[in-house]
Amino acid sequence: MKRYLVGFLLGIAAAVLGIAVANLVMAPGTGPQLLPERSQGSELPPPKTTRRSAYFPGTEELEPDEMRVVSCGSGMPSARPKQAAACWLVELGNGDKFLFDIGAGSHERIAAQRIPYDDLDKVFIGHLHVDHYGDLGAFWLGGTTMNRLTPLRVWGPSGQEEKYGTRYALERLKEAYVWDIATRSGVIDSRGMVLEINEFDYTKPGLIVYEENGVVIRSIPAIHGIDGAVSYILEWNGLKFAYSSDTFPNKWWIEYAQGADIAIHECLLTPILLVEKQGFTPYEALVVGTLGHTSPQQFGKVMSATQPRLAVAYHFYNDFDTAPTMLADIRKTYDGPVALALDYMVFNLTKDDLLVRMSVIDEEVWPSPPQREKERPQGRLTPMSDFVSSGREIYPMTLRRVWAEVNARYGTDLRPGKVAKELMGSAEDAEEAKEAKREN
Ligand SMILES: [Zn+2]
Ligand SMILES: [Zn+2]
């Protein structure tokens, strides 16, 4: 009830502040133009649904046959508050949820969806650029403080050599966070600290990398950087979601993404925008913008060949002054439905309807409650040195009072001295651990 009320109030605020702005889309050469309500991408078909004009995360159930796609990162490697790097959330009417890429800055966008973290345990990485998996560590271990009690499952491609593969990168990510894990072991329920790595062969077009609960996810090779980049195609209930991650236009995409209900493909800034707004030289702009990536005119060619129900262009700074140029270039080679992605853009799809909206975000979101009962952790803390420990100001009376307040409220019988002993082990245990450390 409370949540509904908050949603309702936010709705009024959005109606006053947001919608008029979101509907302002620049058409090439004509200046600002008001599009019909709820057509917030670019030149989209009118939806049949009677849903509200904005999406309020956590307040809308999906229909059993419906797919929701949320942009949790539509930007580039260079950080900006408005657009995180690549990350796409796919939610299905059967309850399944998937993340495709998890680029730097995307974790807070994911958190804004108000989804319990146990339900966010599957991540598919397209390639190992920081703008495509830079927030994985934060999401994995931050997720344990957001009440995830299930292991995090990650899929990603192999590389030309072992060291360029997903397994190699993620094994080292685990090593990079041993300090983080050591501080939490024995303190919080650690079941969510498990990172499951699923590496697959990037050279097999159409390889099924996931098949559960009626959902099939295929990988196809992408052409980007060096070997070991892929795109993904998810199929469920007659709906097809295609996500390029980063790639130069390629034949596998055109074959496997063919007729997708939603085809999300990278679309870099035009070379001229790269020169004039991002400080590239013409040489850099052409090499990066048309050979390493897909420019808007190439994006249009790809979509003309793919013929999706909806094309989505992402991986560029989508501003009032870039959108008209981007759209004009896309329109040189493609005349079908297209949306220019922004963070928090939401797509609802069924076989016969398609709705594109913007989300209204609750900036003050807290972690969702745990889905399962928490267990008292078994492990022990790595002992601190006597040097650091000797700096403690204990305030014993205050400590006892705080613990007594909590015990009285929750009916527990926890004692600071006893718990500290269990956590740190006995003095002999600590000595033993120090000896072992010295020997190493
Ligand atoms: Zn990349
Ligand atoms: Zn990228």
- Residue 264 CA to ligand 1 centre (angstroms): 15
- Residue 380: predicted pLDDT: 76
Do 277 and 419 lie in one domain? The reply is no
Note the pLDDT tens digit of each residue in 312-345.
999 999 999 999 999 999 999 999 999 999 999 9
- Residue 350 CA to ligand 2 centre (angstroms): 29
Determine, yes or no, domain membership for 371: no
Work out the number of other CB atoms within 10 angstroms of the CB of residue 289: 24
- Residue 166 CA to ligand 2 centre (angstroms): 16
- Residue 292 CA to ligand 2 centre (angstroms): 10
Contact (CB, 8 A) for 260 and 306: yes
Do 292 and 405 lie in one domain? The reply is no
262-266, 371-375, 408-412, 433-437, range with the lowest pLDDT: 433-437
Rg for the chain, CA atoms, rounded? 25
Determine, yes or no, domain membership for 163: yes
Do 110 and 40 lie in one domain? The reply is yes
Contact (CB, 8 A) for 92 and 125: no
Determine, yes or no, domain membership for 236: yes
Please give the structure tokens belonging to residue 286: 């052409």
Please give the structure tokens belonging to residue 218: 């295929």
- Residue 247 CA to ligand 2 centre (angstroms): 9
Determine, yes or no, domain membership for 312: yes
Residue 398, domain extent: 386-439
- Residue 197 CA to ligand 1 centre (angstroms): 20
Of 339, 358, 377, the residue at which a domain comes to its end is 358
Residue 41 to residue 354: CA distance in whole angstroms:
12
- Residue 213: predicted pLDDT: 97
Q: How many domains does the chain have?
A: 2
Determine, yes or no, domain membership for 84: yes
- Residue 26 CA to ligand 1 centre (angstroms): 28
Do 341 and 419 lie in one domain? The reply is no
- Residue 429: predicted pLDDT: 54
Determine, yes or no, domain membership for 374: no
Average pLDDT score, the chain: 88
Which ligand is nearest the CA of 222, by number?
A: 1
97 pLDDT above the threshold of 70:
yes
23-32, 311-320, 341-350, 411-420, range with the lowest pLDDT: 23-32
Residue 78 to residue 217: CA distance in whole angstroms:
29
Determine, yes or no, domain membership for 368: no
